[in-house]
Amino acid sequence: MLKELNRGRWSRPTDKSAVYLEIAPGEKWGVRVTLIENYAKVEAVDSPDAAWYKAPERYCSVIRPPRFWERLMGVTLESKIMAAVNEKRLVAHEENARLRGELEQPPG
List the chain domain ranges.
9-100
Of 18-22, 47-51, 56-60, 95-99, the least confident: 47-51
Answer yes or no: pTM beyond 0.75.
Answer: yes
Mean pLDDT over 12-29 rounds to 92
Q: Flag whether pLDDT at 103 surpasses 70.
A: no
DSSP per residue over the chain, as a string?
--TT--SSEEEEEETTEEEEEE--TT-S-EEEEEEETTEEEEEEESSTT---SS--TTTEEEE----HHHHHTT--HHHHHHHHHHHHHHHHHHHHHHHHT-SPPPP-
Q: Mean pLDDT, the chain, as a whole number? A: 89
pLDDT at 108: 47
